[in-house]
Structure 1
Amino acid sequence: MDSTVQNSGTLKTTFPLTPQSTLGALLAIVRNPLDALPPSIFTEPLVFSKTAGELKAYLADPVLIHEALVKNADVLGKGDQVRRALGPALGQGLLTADGAHWKWQRQSVAGAFRHDKLLELQPTMIEAASRTRDRWIETGQGAIDISHEMMRTTFDIIVETMMSGGRGIDVERVESGISDFLKPTGWTFALGLLHAPEWIPYPGRGKAEAAVDFLRSSLLSVIEARRQHPDDRHDLVNMLLSACDPETGRRMTDVEIVDNLMTFITAGHETTALGLAWTFDLLARHPEIEKKVLQEIDAVTQGQPLNAEHVSQLVYTRQVFSEAMRLYPPAPIITRTALQDFQLGEYLIPSGTVLIVPIYAVHHHGSLWSDPEVFDPDRFSPEVAKARHRYAYMPFGAGPRVCIGNAFAVMEAVAILAVLLQKVRLAAIGSAPPKPIMKVTLRPDRAQRMNLVLR
């Protein structure tokens, strides 16, 4: 362990390295990247390590996270590992692009996520949740896979709101395609860490590539049909088709539009669905909290079906979803690569360093949360949340690249919870909750099967 310190002026240029076996780290990354996190990052503010000769800085201190992701955003890039893992599917869309290309895409879609636009989408969210509820009631009681059910519901919403129905997209195949693409990402991260050639085969690669081909070709057909038969629908597809760089006059190509639709479909429905599945599991294991949610829903709706005006009044229900995303953040790790030397706290971080913000560790950090493993929605009451550092809680990332759809996701989740909980109860199967594993997003290690009971 290198614990020596040398100074460059007043900045430290040598780092206290936490020992980490390269082989052990690679095996952990393939299995579950959360297991590759240095255990000390759950208790320390900043941890350095070297893997395969590459310096890594793990940040859990909210002040340092702000300093890195906000104050130094311009000197940080997404990095080669993100490109290798997500680039085949997402291309150079909003999640994976850097610099000017990212900035103009962000500006192009920002209008779709204004608060007034989101309010217009609430009835569509409620209708999709109602279809799921009615299907459950028609099916009757029995075991369901809640992750699958929430994927189906949120995909229904994303297609209706962003693509005006999608015109015949195969929902079931899209869902399985996204899973096939994400499943082997541990291998792509591990091989990227070794700077291995990108052609190297690995388990699941063929299935992932076939899934990407299907997903991208499905979206391309939607774009081609819209170009052939233009209309005045106010959805994301038309917004991307009409997007124009104000400085150059440049418009998006069909490939660039596919990149962004892939980003919103994968990131936009997968993460919310997972957050909801974890929420239902937590409520089933904490009946006293579920009772408070039901009391709030009943008080707000007066026993009537949920409508758009009710959603903003479901304050405690929103707190429950927020706490579920603290315990199980859908995007559990942020990575950036230093494009040049920069100051971070008392250190001079050299160009090429990989910065890792392990959101999962931050959300479970003993110095930031009391009893961090306990499910306690009161942590997000307005008074308590106001006193907390902004970067102690980051389910949607942080800085200029914070998820553009965060308000959409929360609004959607609260609506779905309220519509479903009014009529059904979900009971956990098994005494122990599933273990979270990272496949880019935070998924359960087994199918989240729950017993559906009609109220």
Structure 2
Amino acid sequence: MSIDALPVISEQCPGVAVSRRSPLTVIPALVRDPLRALPPEIYHEPVVYSQVAGRRRILLADPALIHEALVRNAEVLNKGEDVRRALGPALGQGLLTADGAHWRWQRQSVAPAFRHEKLMGLLPAMIAAAEKTRDRWLASGPGSSIGIGHEMMRTTFDIIVETMMSGPGGIDVARVERGITDYLKPTGWIFALSILDAPDWLPYPGRRRASAAAAYLRSAITRMIAERRRKPDGREDLVALLLAASDPESGRTMSDEEIADNLLTFVTAGHETTALGLAWTFLLLARHPEHEARVLAEIDAVTKGESVRPEHIAQLAHTRQVFSEAMRLYPPAPIITRTATRAFPLGGFTVPEGAVLIVPIHAVHHHAALWEKPERFDPERFAPEQAKSRHRYAYMPFGAGPRICIGSAFASMEAVAILAVLLQAVRLRGTSGDLPAPMMKVTLRPRKEAQMRVAARGS
């Protein structure tokens, strides 16, 4: 059965709910915060169909259907126009935005950088970056206030450039951070204009600043690539891997522009998502001292009161559970979108060619049918037995299917290392009684920069 027949679909396909929100409601919501443009039905229904400005959208919250769509039908789905317009100007045709054969050979090229044995060798750099942040905080004096999002961005950026690029070189770290924020800020306008099929050139608030940010990010990276190509130095990092990569079928190598596409993907998406997961984790622990106490007890038991070392990270199981639960409540990448390149069957209906398939990870992670008391912060959900009994696609902080984030193991290892080093030495408390509201700007950020007070542990 085709899902085109909006007026009768709920009668003929009882598992599919229909959202009839007016474009006059949806489009302004997209501009302000795309998360608020989701049909509210998707938080308690398995499938929701909507049509906005003639664009057919099918939202999936049923883990079995998500698996069927993103895994079994991966070949008939591509990233689509929304992603191209929102991220293409900055990330080009890198891993996050490319499709088909071009995506596959890039994925194969970078895979060696994320093998387990390679990641283990990166732990000292992760710990060192966290210690640098810890020392900066302690030097600021008792009772000082920090922007936790900014601080985590700074820490994870230090890690990504050190481990993937062997140092920032001539890149202005502060300017890169500002540039990413400037670029992402107006993305709600891009999604709204894409749904309306507005031309790419149409101006919108923040466009000029976003374009300038994209230009700086790309120019800084391409200068570094040109220098590395001109003066090879034997470093074994992601840059070297991309410079040496060749397509197994054609033998062609990557151009400087293609290398820049992928480095920009890792530098921007790679550090931003982990930083946000960490920021939300610290904010949640500050509100739940009983969970913080359990994490501290684990860190103390594993390290025996000594400094955190690489061999400790794999033993911090509960600390990892806490980070996992924070990413359930606040998934850094809260929505996946795909476009059907041809019609295909899904469940009891047919997804038509051209339909936009949406997997609202935020809704799946808060879905009443999948989680008991979904708004409660409960790291025990990720204890081994509970996690084993849950459908694999009920929890997707790093995406799903063949295009699952290649850096997921890197991010998890990095997050546990940062949490262990900082929590061991520092106590953080929120300056406000309430958690900041989340807002989607491609990633899920606090609506306002969250301030936290810093004190040395035990003071």
What is the TM-score of this pair, normalised by structure 1? 0.98
Give deviations 1:168-207, integer Å, cap 9, x for gaps.
3111000000000000000011001101011111110110
Task: Write out aligned runs for 1:371-382 (5 A).
Answer: 371-382=373-384
Task: Write out aligned runs for 1:140-151 (5 A).
Answer: 140-141=141-142, 142-151=144-153
Alpha-carbon distance in 2 for matches of 1:439, 1:64: 26
Alpha-carbon distance in 2 for matches of 1:23, 1:454: 51
Alpha-carbon distance in 1 for matches of 2:386, 2:327: 17
Residue type of the alignment partner of 1:226:
R
Task: Pick one of 347, 361, 364 that aligns with 1:362.
Answer: 364
> Is the 1:4–1:16 contact (alpha carbons within 8 Å) kept by the matching residues of 2?
no
- 1:4 maps to 8
Alpha-carbon distance in 1 for matches of 2:9, 2:414: 49
- 1:94 maps to 95
Residue type of the alignment partner of 2:53:
A
* In the alignment, structure 1 residue 251 sits paired with structure 2 residue 241: no
- 1:74 maps to 75
SS of 1:56's equivalent in the other structure is strand
> Is the 1:163–1:236 contact (alpha carbons within 8 Å) kept by the matching residues of 2?
yes
RMSD between aligned alpha carbons? 1.5
Task: Write out aligned runs for 1:17-416 (5 A).
Answer: 17-141=18-142, 142-416=144-418
Residue type of the alignment partner of 1:291:
A
* Cα offset, 1:16, TM superposition: 5.4
> Is the 2:127–2:310 contact (alpha carbons within 8 Å) kept by the matching residues of 1?
yes
Alpha-carbon distance in 1 for matches of 2:44, 2:391: 17
> Is the 2:189–2:204 contact (alpha carbons within 8 Å) kept by the matching residues of 1?
yes
> Is the 1:13–1:347 contact (alpha carbons within 8 Å) kept by the matching residues of 2?
no
Alpha-carbon distance in 2 for matches of 1:6, 1:200: 37
Alpha-carbon distance in 2 for matches of 1:125, 1:333: 28
Gap change, CA 1:176 and 1:5, over 3 Å in 2:
closer
Give deviations 1:6-25, integer Å, cap 9, x for gaps.
99xxx979975320211211
> Is the 1:129–1:153 contact (alpha carbons within 8 Å) kept by the matching residues of 2?
yes
Runs of 4+ in 1 over 4 A off after TM superposition: 11-16
SS of 1:422's equivalent in the other structure is helix
- 1:451 maps to 453
Residue type of the alignment partner of 1:64:
L
SS of 2:49's equivalent in the other structure is strand
Alpha-carbon distance in 1 for matches of 2:62, 2:216: 41
SS of 1:188's equivalent in the other structure is helix
What is the TM-score of this pair, normalised by structure 2? 0.97
Alpha-carbon distance in 2 for matches of 1:270, 1:6: 39
> Is the 1:12–1:348 contact (alpha carbons within 8 Å) kept by the matching residues of 2?
no
> Is the 2:17–2:47 contact (alpha carbons within 8 Å) kept by the matching residues of 1?
no
SS of 1:427's equivalent in the other structure is strand
Task: Pick one of 418, 433, 442 that aligns with 1:440.
Answer: 442
Count of matched residue pairs: 452
* Cα offset, 1:358, TM superposition: 0.2
Residue type of the alignment partner of 2:349:
Y
Give deviations 1:286-313, integer Å, cap 9, x for gaps.
0000000000000000000000000000
SS of 1:335's equivalent in the other structure is strand
Alpha-carbon distance in 1 for matches of 2:306, 2:231: 41
Identity of aligned residues (%): 65
Residue type of the alignment partner of 2:8:
T
SS of 2:371's equivalent in the other structure is coil
